Amino acid sequence: MIIRHLARTFAVVLGTATVVPLGLATTAAAAQPASAQPTTSAQPTSDAPYEGEVIASSSLNARNAPTAASSRMDTLSNGVIVDLQCKVYGPSVAGNDLWYKLADGTWVTARYVANIGAAPHFCGDGEEYQGDVIAQSSLNVRSGPSTANATVSSAPSGHRLPLVCKVDSQNVDGNPRWYQLTGGGGGQWVSARYVANVGAAPPYC
């Protein structure tokens, strides 16, 4: 964890985000099922261009995925300055549905982080990837990358999904990957176990 204490005289600005509606297309195409690969999502880096200050009343849990249902990896004290890489939509925490990826690859809810300067950009490489639902009937779209998170909609078998990026989270039938869809409003995530990539798989968030 790259953590630095800075003077409290910095201006603290809370970040905002634009919500993009989820789009589902029905185009069918031959595809290869998503398969588990070596984990590469939590690669530490020291050049995160964004910073934030922890404003939790006592401490803030840093987790291995953008959901409170994932494992706690660290605990950050109130007032600590953290380096931020990017953000994703996820389960809402006290009205805030953004989650920040820290420089060490862990995740924290944005509800308890005050941005110092600009808010981080959304995760992903700016490209939209695609995958077809291969569940027997339909696939639950959830607010976060875990079956513990609420179902916000569902996608029928054969539907093509727009994918942004992926994280490693809850293992579903041997596959720990979860894809974030193009959309927001509480997050839209699906298990990669039931999605066949059309072309290249999306990058890690």
Question: Would you list the DSSP string of 152-181?
Answer: EEEEETT-EEEEEEEEEEEEETTEEEEEEE
Is 154 within the bounds of a domain? Answer: yes
Report which residue type is found at 123. Answer: C
CA distance 41 to 199: 20
User: Which pLDDT belongs to residue 185?
Assistant: 54
- CATH code where residue 142 lies: 2.30.30.40
Q: How confident is the model at residue 183 (pLDDT cuts 50, 70, 90)?
A: low
The least confident of 20-24, 57-61, 173-177 is 20-24
Is 142 within the bounds of a domain? Answer: yes
Q: Is residue 15 within 8 Å of 100, Cβ to Cβ?
A: no
Q: Is residue 144 within 8 Å of 41, Cβ to Cβ?
A: no
Average pLDDT over residues 28-42: 40
Is 174 within the bounds of a domain? Answer: yes
Is 101 within the bounds of a domain? Answer: no
Is the pLDDT at 92 greater than 80, yes or no? yes
Number of domain units in the chain:
1
pLDDT: is 35 or 61 the higher one? 61
The least confident of 30-39, 83-92, 121-130, 194-203 is 30-39
Is 17 within the bounds of a domain? Answer: no
Q: Is residue 165 within 8 Å of 128, Cβ to Cβ?
A: no
Is the pLDDT at 113 greater than 80, yes or no? yes
Is the pLDDT at 47 greater than 80, yes or no? no
DSSP 150: P
Three-state SS string across 44-94, please? CCCCCCEEEEECCCCEEEEECCCCCCCCEEEEEECCCEEEEEEEEEEEEEC
Is 168 within the bounds of a domain? Answer: yes
**Phi (first) and psi of residue 181, to 5 degrees:** -90, 165
Per the structure, the complete domain to which residue 169 belongs is given by 129-198
Q: How confident is the model at residue 49 (pLDDT cuts 50, 70, 90)?
A: confident
Exposure string over 114-147, b if 16+ CB within 10 A, otherwise e: bbbeebbebbbeeeebbbbbebeeebbbbbbbbe
Is 51 within the bounds of a domain? Answer: no
Percent residues over pLDDT 70 in the chain: 75
pLDDT: is 190 or 6 the higher one? 190
Neighbours of 203 (CB within 10 A): 16
Is 81 within the bounds of a domain? Answer: no
